[in-house]
Structure 1
Amino acid sequence: MVVFRYIYSAYSLLMFSLLMVIFSPFILIPLFVSPRGSKTAFFFVRLWDNFWSFMVGIRYRIHGKEHIDRLQPYIYIFNHRSYLDAPVIPMAIPQDIRALGKKELAKIPVFGLLVSRLAVWVDRKDPKSREKSIGQLKNFLHKGHSIIVAPEGTRNDTGYALLPFYTGAFRLAVETQVPIIPMAVIGADKLLPKGTLLMRPGTIHIYFSSPIYPDKAENTLAVETLKEKCFNRLEAMILTHE
């Protein structure tokens, strides 16, 4: 069984890298040619994702998509437990999105270049970096793009459903009056746990909540209230479906 997982994991990584090289021109060129190229780019991101998932035996089951108005920008938040959360996002969310990611990911060859066109990098230890990233995300929201944030800030390998949330996503929601959609990713950590590159095939379930709207009062209390409400909603979704 262990030997099979090593072979399968090596095969999965090889397929991921090979497909990334094949699809990268189709993703990057539209993004460089026009600011409106993101729709074309995301078509090829999802195609790459579909090919890879099919070839390695990972399936997705999406629940609650009816809560999403495709013409409305949202701030999506999710529970982060696995590197497999990355392919989940474009497969599950039926919109062009921008992500907040750790700056270390930008150093990965080819992948870093690709994602840099669709993400905002942040050093969570640097207050200036965090503030700059909030400004960039706000600009994306004003342009009508949805964004996705892992409010825990890192992958969670504890026994708790969630780690404490950072405040940035909720301050952003209050300042822009953009609703938040909690998104529970269930099962990704069973296929690829934190701390290992050994994968196995299987099914990942994604559950969307109805949107949570921020209070119109732009103050610290509104931010904290929204953060608590979103934490409780996402925690309940995880505990219900795990």
Structure 2
Amino acid sequence: MFVFLKKLVYSIVFNFVLIFLTLFFLLLLLLIVFLPSKTRNRIFNIIAKIWSWTLLKVSGTKLVVIGKENLPDGPPFIIAFNHLSNFDIYAMAQAIDPVFRAVMKKEIMYIPLFGVVLLLYDSFPIDRKNIHNAKKTLKNVARYFNRHPYIMAITGTRIRNRDFFKVKLKKGPVVTAIQHKIPILPVTLIGPDHVQPKGAVLINPGKTIEVIIHPPVKTDNYTLEDRDRVLMNLREIIGKPLIEKGEAEYVE
């Protein structure tokens, strides 16, 4: 009973702070949208750091970042990661510099204010069911590669780590990186689904999220014919810590 009550209290406080803080910052970002691009993006980055730090703190989540020395000096680069939970974003926003933008599923655009603000600040919705529209979106994203790094999940939406080697990985991040000759930064996440599993209402305080940043994978010498080889390389890189930590079992 004590454990349940602890989860309930933390969850109530967390969701109150999440709603209040997100709404406040979204309105602030809307108010400054007419500032020069560099200025408003600098403010966006500061806000993203404050927002994510606060949410991790009020959820009772500890963050451990490994491999920060592997971060490129700046964009362009694409961050490929294993998507587990909403807590992925809070953890990576703290761990990765500069603050990234997202190639996000189009459904996020339907969230009042949230989707619109992300779009205004250089994130892009993608229709994963329409290949033609998806390609068009990625072509538009390419114009912003020199401004921000972009996150692109190589797994489906919130795939459990234990299923990492069982699912078909997404080729979008690899294809995009090869086409534009920019590096891919592999990131392994361990723990976001322990804080809040897929479909769960309550959060589990006192958990730890590990963000493991691997050395960038250069794509200069690859062609689209090499995309499967590059994807399998990313699978091995991102998946190795999952095996070592007992989060997943290797599957050929």
Tell me the TM-score normalized by structure 2. Answer: 0.87
Please tell me whether the aligned partners of residues 67 and 212 of structure 2 are also in contact (alpha carbons under 8 angstroms): yes
Q: CA RMSD, aligned part only?
A: 1.9
Match of 1:11 in 2: 13
1:87-236 superposed matches below 5 A: 87-118=90-121, 119-141=123-145, 143-157=146-160, 159-162=162-165, 163-201=167-205, 202-220=207-225, 222-236=226-240
Matched residues in 2 for 1:14 and 1:174: separation?
42
Please tell me whether the aligned partners of residues 87 and 196 of structure 2 are also in contact (alpha carbons under 8 angstroms): yes
How big is each residue's C-alpha offset from its partner over 1:149-184, in whole Å with a ceiling of 9 and x where there is no partner? 001131113732343211111111111111111101
Secondary structure of 2:139's partner? helix
Matched residues in 2 for 1:31 and 1:223: separation?
38
Q: Which amino acid aligns with 2:25?
A: F
Match of 1:238 in 2: 242
| Correspondence 1:80 to 2:83 | yes
Please tell me whether the aligned partners of residues 82 and 194 of structure 1 are also in contact (alpha carbons under 8 angstroms): yes
Secondary structure of 2:6's partner? helix
Match of 1:51 in 2: 54
Aligned length: 240
Matched residues in 2 for 1:127 and 1:72: separation?
26
Please tell me whether the aligned partners of residues 189 and 210 of structure 2 are also in contact (alpha carbons under 8 angstroms): yes
- Structure 1 unaligned runs (5+)? none
1:88 offset after TM fit, Å? 1.7
Q: Which amino acid aligns with 1:121?
A: P
How big is each residue's C-alpha offset from its partner over 1:59-93, in whole Å with a ceiling of 9 and x where there is no partner? 21111010112234211111111121121221111
Identity score, percent: 24
**CA 1:103–1:6: 2 relative to 1, 3 Å:** same
Match of 1:20 in 2: 22
Tell me the TM-score normalized by structure 1. Answer: 0.91
